[in-house]
Amino acid sequence: MGRVRNTLARANQRFSLQLAAGLLAGSTLLSSGLGFFRDRLLNSTYFETYPQGLDAYTVAFIIPDFMFFVLVSGALSVTFIPVFNERLAHHNKKSAWELSTSLMNLLSLAALVASVLIVIFAEPLVTYVVAPGMDEDARALAISLTRVIAINPFLFAVSSVIASMQQAVGRFTFFALAPIIYNVGIIIGITVFTNGINLFGVQIFEGGIMGVALGVVMGSVMQLITSVIGLVGMGFDYRFKIYWKNVGFRRVLRLLPARSFDQGIDYFNNIVEVNLASRFTAGAIRAYQQTTTMHMVPINLIGVAISTAAFPQMTERLSQGRPDLFRKELQTILRVIIWLAMPVAAITFFARGFIVSILFTSNDARPLVAGLLSILAVAILFRSVYHISARSFYAQQDTRTPLYISLFTIGLNIGLAILFTLHLGLGIYGLAWAQAIVAVLEVAILFFVMSLRIPKLFDAQFFHALWRMVAATGLMGIVTYIAVKVFELSSTDQSLTSIIPKFAIITLISFAVYIFLSRVFKLDEVNPIIAKLKKLLFIEVRER
């Protein structure tokens, strides 16, 4: 037992920023790959034969996810971590553990109450708030699925507090592993539980799409267990108690409402989008949700992963009284994110047909989803940048500024979505146009406020590098377009074994050109990659 504990403690050791970002990016890529596989299985099983069922399954997540985001998610990570780190920086572990255990108990209790309320009020919430446009049978199924998935806010609340503790101290192994395990649970639900469950020859569960919901719950439980294992070696002292007098806990409670409200209105926008999408043809909700999921993959891989890894160190710089180092690191991270996200957005736009074909086997769904993705490709760059921009305020324990900006941009997004879909006749595409426009505007506003708050952040060197990135991406885009035409999908390309190799070749060619152009344009961001390639290929080049 001791040997197992020591092994887990070594696996959960603290990593450097570069290694942590790489681990998070790698786990995000793997989790996203499993997510694509999960969704392909689900779409191929139900999209052509039972699109109403897929819409119902998608709708079932809306209210539980909304409650989780309001009570726990972003509010926890950006308000808890700075205060928790401050306690550790002053070598006050007792206060840090009291803060952690208090927050875990409080949020778990709040989430449990929310889960019970969802079960009770699932019918009016689905019928009048989330999906009023669905037909009666699909709505009844959505209500039943919602009641099954209602346990998620409670399970996620516990695992999220634990994950935030690991993130705060730079221990990312099990933090990175948890979402992968969650996807495995859902895949088991699709491949096993949908066929029904037999016990000693007696069928105790009929299966169907309800089996996928059971897989979701199992995945949530497995994710929680993985997070708990990640506590080994941290010395966490849990108590079934809320320390109301703990100064750090009271400070987090003061910071929490603004960020919770920010998260709530952000996700409220998603509810409005589903509400509008439910008014169109069967399968429209699923098609739009899948498109947003696809465009979020590079955002999570680049913007969220790098920002998450950098955030603890940024807060540490400010707690050390070094705003100069904070500004320097923030500028470096911004440049890296832009340098990575810009070509990814271009590749997504030109190779969208390949990406959609990976997820959908239905020829009826592909044109719609590809059209939506071409619009949302623009948002990939700006949403990636958004995460580190917002965290620059959270590191300064300022949750109000991003809240005010979100209030304006989300209100604008809802207004544009209603205008485009219902009044200008753009249909489901109007939702994507609204998102893309608002993503650009939100980052523009954040950059303006950041330039006032952090002088010399956006200096001439930053903008000069930005223009070189734009030039490199533009030239790469031409090459990507040609490669897409050369490796164009045919009507016989239906399997992953024929689609993925072509997409991989296009992506490799595009990035090779981009790396070469970045080197030509003397962009510093490419140097670590060149150094890694030289080391990998055992090439020794004498610098002159």
Confidence of residue 303 (pLDDT cuts 50, 70, 90): confident
Reported as a pLDDT band with limits 50, 70 and 90, residue 387 is: confident
Residue 163 in this model has a pLDDT that exceeds 90: no
State which H helix or E strand residue 205 sits in: strand 202-205
pLDDT band at 449 (very low <50, low <70, confident <90, very high): confident
Span 89-131, pLDDT tens digits: 777 788 888 888 888 898 899 899 999 999 999 999 999 989 8
Give backbone dihedrals phi and psi of 61, rounded to 5 degrees, phi first.
Answer: -85, -20
Residue 229: is it exposed, middle or buried by C-beta count within 10 angstroms (0-12/13-18/19+)?
middle
Closest among 373, 348, 45 to 195, alpha carbons compared:
45
The mean pLDDT value for 467-483 works out to: 95
Instruction: Output the pLDDT for position 202.
Output: 63
Apex 54 CA angle, 49 and 57, nearest 5: 150
Contact 234, 165 (CB under 8 A): yes
**Phi, psi (deg, nearest 5) at residue 474:** -60, -45
Q: Give pLDDT, residue 493.
A: 65
Is residue 188 a contact partner of residue 43, using CB atoms and an 8 Å limit?
A: no
- pLDDT exceeding 70 applies to what percent of the chain? 88
Instruction: Give the pLDDT score at 534.
Output: 64
Please determine, for residue 538, whether its predicted confidence score (pLDDT) is greater than 60: no
Calpha distance 84→100 (Å, rounded) = 8
Average pLDDT over residues 463-484: 94
pLDDT, residue 537, reads 59
Say which residues have a Cβ less than 8 Å from residue 538's Cβ, sequence separation at least 6.
none
253: three-class secondary structure by DSSP: helix
- Picking from 117, 70, 60, the residue whose alpha carbon sits closest to that of residue 269 is 70
Helix/strand/coil for 198 = strand
For residue 68, give the nearest of 168, 167, 180, 156 by alpha carbon. Answer: 156
Contacts of 286 (CB under 8 A, 6+ apart): 43, 47, 51, 54, 55, 57, 58
Phi then psi for residue 521, to 5 deg, are -85, 5
DSSP code, position 199: E
Which has the higher per-residue pLDDT, 336 or 256?
336
Spatial distance between the Cα atoms of 333 and 117, rounded to a whole number of angstroms: 42
> Is the separation of the CB atoms in 383 and 406 below 8 Å?
no
What does the mean pLDDT of the chain come to?
83
Flag whether pLDDT at 447 surpasses 90.
no
pLDDT band at 16 (very low <50, low <70, confident <90, very high): low
pLDDT of residue 1: 55
Task: Please give the average per-residue pLDDT across 146-161, as a whole number.
Answer: 91
HEC string of 15-76?
Answer: CCHHHHHHHHHHHHHHHHHHHHHHHHHHHHHHCCCCHHHHHHHHHHCHHHHHHHHHHCHHHH
Highest mean pLDDT among 89-93, 181-185, 190-194, 323-327: 181-185
Which residues touch 534 (CB under 8 Å, ≥6 apart)? 540, 541
Length of the chain: 544
Q: Where are the domains of the chain?
A: 1-259
pLDDT of residue 539: 47
Tell me which of 37-41, 218-222, 397-401 is least confident: 397-401
What would the two tokens of residue 478 be? 């031409």
Give the gyration radius of the chain's Cα atoms: 23
Q: What is the pLDDT of residues 348-369, one digit of tens each?
A: 999 998 888 888 776 777 888 8
Average pLDDT value for residue range 265-290: 86
CA 350/CA 520 separation, integer angstroms? 24
Residue 203's SS3 state is strand
What pLDDT score does 204 carry?
A: 61
Give the type of residue at 157.
A
pLDDT of residue 540: 47
**pLDDT at 544 > cutoff 60:** no
Read off the pLDDT band of 376 (50, 70, 90). Answer: very high
pLDDT surpasses 90 at 382: yes
Name which of 100-114, 171-185, 309-323, 391-405 the model is least confident about. 309-323
Q: What is each CA distance from 358 to 9, 269, 362, in whole angstroms?
A: 38, 28, 11
Alpha-carbon distance of 151 to 143, in angstroms, equals 14
Exposure of 229 in the CB half-sphere (CA atoms within 13 A): 20
For 419-446, what is the mean pLDDT? 92
Contacts of 152 (CB under 8 A, 6+ apart): 64, 65, 68, 115, 216, 217, 220
pLDDT beyond 80 at 298: yes
Confidence check: pLDDT of 88 > 80 = no
pLDDT of residue 327: 78
